[in-house]
Structure 1
Amino acid sequence: MAKTYPAGKTSFFKFSITSLLFSCLVFQGITTKAQSKYELNTGWKCTPVGNVKDKGTEISQSAYNTAAWMPAVVPGTVLTSLIADKKVPDPFYGMNNEQIPDIYRTGRDYYTYWFVKDFKEAQPQVGNQVYLNFRGVNYSFDVFLNGHKLNDKPHKGMFLRQSYNITKWLAKNGNNRLAVIVYPPDVVGNPNGGQGGDGTIAKNVGIQYTAGWDWIQPIKDRNTGIWDKVVIERTGAVRIKDPHVVTLVPGVRQAEGPQQSAIIQVSAELENATAQPVTGELKYTLDGNTVSKKVTLKANSVQAVQLNDYTLKNPKLWWPSGYGVQHLYPMQLQFVAGTKVSDKEDIKIGVRQITTEWNTRTESRQININGQKIFIKGGNWIVSDEMLRFSDARYDAEVRFHRDMNLNLIRVWGGALIERPEFYEACDKYGMLVFQDMWGSGDCNGRWTDPMKLEDQWTRRKYPDDHDLYLKSIEDQVKLVRNYPSLAIWCGGNEITPPEDILTALRDNIMPKLDNTRWFIPYSNSEEMSRNVEGGNGDGPYGIQPLSTFWAHKTYPFNSEVGSVGVGDYESLKRFMPAKNMVLPEYDEATHKTKADSVWEYHKYIGYDEFIDKYGKPKDVEDFATKAQLVNYDQYRGLMEGFSSHMWDWYTGTIIWKTQNPWTALRGQMYDYYLDPNACLYGLHNGSEPLHIMYDPTDGMVMVANNTFKSHTNMMLVAKAYDMDGKEKMLTQVFSDVTPTTVKRYLSLKKAVDNLAKDKGAFLCLQLLDKDKKTISENIYWMPDANGNYSGLEKMSKINLDASAKYLGSDKVEVTLNNKGNGPLAFFNRLSLVNTDTKQRVLPAFYSDNYVSVLPGEEKKVIIDYKGADKLNLSVDLAGWNVNEKLIQINK
Structure 2
Amino acid sequence: MCIKYRWLAALCVLVSTYLQAQNAYELNSGWQCVNVAKVKEAGQAISVPSYKLSGWIPAVVPGTVLTTLLENKKVPDPFYGMNNEKIPDIFDTGREYYTYWFAKDFKETTPKGDEQVWLHFRGINYSCDVYLNGKKLNTATHYGMFLRQTYNITNVLSKDGNNRLAVIVHPPDPVGNAKTGQGGDGMIAKNVSHQYVAGWDWIQPIRDRNTGIWDKVTIEKTGIVNLKNPHVVTLVPGVRKAEGPQQPATIKVSAELENTSTKKVEGTLQYTLDGQTVSQKVSLEPQKTTVVQLPDFTLQNPKLWWPHGYGKQPLYDLKMQFTVDGKSVSDQETVSVGVREVQTEWNAVTRSKQVAVNGQKIFIKGGNWIISDAMLRFTDARYDAEIRFHRDMNLNLIRIWGGALSERPEFYKACDKYGMLVMQDFWVSGDCNGRWVDPVKKEDQWTRRKYPDDHKLFLRSAEDQIKMIRNYASLAMWCGGNEITPPEDILIPLRDSILPELDGTRWFIDYSNSDDMSYNFLGGNGDGPYGIQPINRFWEHRTFPFNSEVGSVGVGDYESLERFIPAANMTPPHYSTKKIDPVWDYHKYIGYDEYLQPYGEPTEARDFAKKAQLVNYDQYRALMEGFSAHMWDWYTGTIIWKTQNPWTAMRGQMYDYYLDVNACLYGLRSGSEPLHIMYNPVDGMVMIVNNTFETKRDLMLTIKAYTISGKDSLITQVFNEIGPSTVRKYVPILPTINALRKEQGVFLSLKLLDVNKKVVSDNFYWLPDASGNYSGLNKMAKASVQTSVKVLEKGKIELKISNPAGGAVAFFNRVALVDPKTKKRILPVFFSDNYVSLLPGEEKIVVMEYTPDSQSAQPLVSLSGWNVEEKFIPVK
TM exceeding 0.5: yes
Structure 1 CA distance, aligned partners of 2:240 and 2:145? 41
Query: Per the alignment, do residues 828 and 733 of structure 1 end up closer, same or farther by CA in structure 2, a change over 3 Å counting?
Result: same
In the TM superposition, residue 193 of structure 1 has moved relative to its aligned partner by: 1.9
Instruction: Please point out which of 799, 810, 814 is paired with 1:815.
Output: 799
Paired residue secondary structure (1:505):
helix
- 1:791 and 1:60 mapped to 2: Cα distance? 72
The residue that corresponds to 2:388 in the other structure is 400
- Alignment partner of 1:357 is 2:345: yes
Alignment map for 1:812-851 (pairs within 5 Å) = 812-851=796-835
> Whole-Å Cα distance in 2 between the matches of residues 819 and 80 of structure 1?
48
Q: Write the distance in 2 (CA, Å) between the matches of 1:254 and 1:559.
A: 27
1:246 equivalent among 229, 233, 253: 233
* 2:84 is the counterpart of 1:100: no
Shift in CA distance, 548/421, structure 1 to aligned 2, threshold 3 Å:
same
CA distance in 2, matches of 1:630, 1:579: 24
Partner SS, residue 281 of structure 1: strand
Equivalent residue letter for 1:842:
I
Q: Which position in structure 2 is the counterpart of 1:680?
A: 664
- Which residue of the partner structure matches residue 794 of structure 1? 778
Measured after TM superposition, the shift of residue 483 of structure 1 is 0.2
Matched, 1:884 2:872: no
TM alignment of 1:103-252, pairs within 5 A: 103-252=90-239
* 1:470 and 2:455 matched: no
Larger displacement relative to structure 2 (873-882 or 369-378): 873-882
Q: CA deviation at 1:868?
A: 3.5
User: Match for residue 727 of structure 2?
Assistant: 743
- For structure 1, the 5+ residue unaligned runs are 1-17
Report if the CA contact (8 A) 2:3-2:335 is conserved: no
Amino acid at match of 1:659: T
Q: Aligned partners of 2:419 and 2:9: how far apart in 1?
A: 25
8 Å contact 1:536–1:555 — kept in the other structure?
no
Instruction: Give the match for residue 74 of structure 1.
Output: 61
The answer for the alignment partner of 1:302 in structure 2 is 289
1:874 deviation in Å? 0.8
**Mapping for residues 558-577 of structure 1, pairs under 5 Å:** 558-577=546-565
SS of the residue corresponding to residue 595 of structure 1 reads coil
- Counterpart amino acid of residue 478 in structure 2: W
**What's the secondary structure of 1:884's corresponding residue?**
strand
Q: Name 1:319's counterpart in structure 2.
A: 306
SS of the residue corresponding to residue 869 of structure 2 reads coil
1:389 maps to what in 2?
Answer: 377
Whole-angstrom CA distance in 1 between matches of 2:51 and 2:633:
70
Give the counterpart of 1:695 among 673, 679, 686. Answer: 679
Return closer, same or farther for 1:601/1:23 CA change in 2, 3 Å cut-off: farther
For residue 29 of structure 1, report the CA deviation from its aligned partner: 4.3
Equivalent-residue separation in structure 1 for 2:494 and 2:875 (angstroms): 56
TM-aligned CA distance change 1:537 to 1:98, over 3 Å: closer
Q: Deviations over 1:466-490 (max 9, x none)?
A: 0000000000000000000100000
Percent identity between matched residues is 65
Give runs of aligned pairs for residues 645-724 of structure 1, distance below 5 A: 645-724=629-708
Structure 1 equivalent of residue 408 of structure 2? 420
Q: Residue in 1 aligned with 2:578?
A: 594
Q: Report matched runs for 1:368-517 at 5 Å.
A: 368-517=356-505
| Cα distance in structure 2, aligned partners of 1:159 and 1:812 | 39
Read off the aligned partner of 2:397 and give its amino acid letter.
L
* Distance in 2 between residues matched to 1:331 and 1:178, nearest whole Å: 34
1:536 CA displacement: 9.7
Q: CA deviation at 1:192?
A: 2.3
Deviation at 1:275, TM superposition (A): 1.7
| 2: CA distance, partners of 1:536 / 1:168 | 59
1:770 maps to 2:754:
yes
Letter in 1 for 2:800: T
Cα contact 1:703–1:743 (8 A) shared by 2: yes
Structure-2 separation of matches of 1:786 and 1:810: 49
Q: Give per-residue Cα distances to partners, 1:467-516, cap 9 Å, x unaligned.
A: 00000000000000000010000000000011011111111111111111
Deviation at 1:149, TM superposition (A): 0.5
Alignment partner of 1:852 is 2:836? yes
Q: Once the 2 structures are TM-superposed, how far is the Cα of residue 170 of structure 1 from its aligned partner?
A: 0.2
Quick one: distance in 2 between partners of 1:20 and 1:108? 37
CA distance in 1, matches of 2:389, 2:693: 23
**Offset at residue 101 of structure 1 (A):** 0.3
Shifted more, 62-71 versus 869-878: the winner is 869-878
SS at match of 1:634: helix
Partner Cα separation in structure 2 for residue 545 and residue 535 of structure 1: 19
The DSSP-based 3-state class of the residue aligned with 1:476 is: helix
User: 1:870: Cα distance to partner?
Assistant: 4.8
Give the TM-score normalised by structure 2.
Answer: 0.98
Distance change in 2, residues 1:25/1:698 (3 Å) = farther
CA contact (8 A) 2:19 2:223 kept: no
Aligned pair in 2 of structure 1 residues 537, 697: CA closer, same or farther (>3 Å)? farther
Q: Please list the CA deviations of residues 836-883 of structure 1 after superposition, one character each: whole Å capped at 9, or x if unmatched.
A: 122111111100000000110010001101113354221100011100
Superposed, 1:539-554 pairs within 5 Å as 539-554=527-542
Within 1, Cα distance between the matches of 2:144 and 2:666? 40
Question: 1: CA distance between counterparts of 2:783 and 2:524?
Answer: 47
How far apart are residue 23 of structure 1 and its match? 8.4
**Cα distance change, pair 534–605 in 1 and its aligned pair in 2 (3 A):** closer
Go from structure 1 to structure 2 and tell me whether the alpha carbon gap of 1:858 and 1:216 turns closer, same or farther (over 3 Å shift).
Answer: same
Name 1:283's counterpart in structure 2: 270
Post-superposition offset of 1:34: 3.3
Q: Deviations over 1:187-240 (max 9, x none)?
A: 100012200000110000000000000000000000000000000000000001
- 1:274 and 2:261 are equivalent in the alignment: yes
Which stretch of the first structure deviates more once superposed, 613-622 or 403-412? 613-622
- CA gap of 1:256–1:126, structure 2 versus 1, over 3 A, is same
In structure 2, distance between residues paired with 1:414 and 1:235: 36
Task: Decide which of 743, 748, 760 is 1:759's aligned counterpart.
Answer: 743
Structure 1 equivalent of residue 39 of structure 2: 52
2:173 counterpart SS class: coil
Range with bigger deviation, 25-34 or 873-882: 25-34
Alignment size in residue pairs: 870
RMSD: 1.3
Residue 250 of structure 1: CA displacement?
0.2
Q: Which runs of 4+ in 1 moved over 4 A?
A: 22-25, 534-538
**Distance in 1, Cα, partners of 2:854 & 2:68:** 30
- How many Å separate the matches in 2 of 1:608 and 1:759? 25
State the distance in 1 between where 2:175 and 2:50 align: 35
Q: Do the aligned partners of 1:146 and 1:171 also contact (CA within 8 Å) in 2? A: yes
Aligned to 1:612, what secondary structure does the other structure show?
helix
Aligned counterparts of 1:776 and 1:584: Cα–Cα separation in 2: 39
Residues 117/537 of structure 1: CA separation in 2 closer, same or farther (3 Å cut) = closer
SS at match of 1:396: helix
Is the CA contact (8 Å cut-off) linking 2:6 and 2:23 kept in structure 1?
Answer: no
TM-score (structure 1 length as normaliser): 0.96
Residue 553 of structure 1 deviates from its aligned partner by 0.4
Q: For residue 623 of structure 2, what is the aligned residue in structure 1?
A: 639
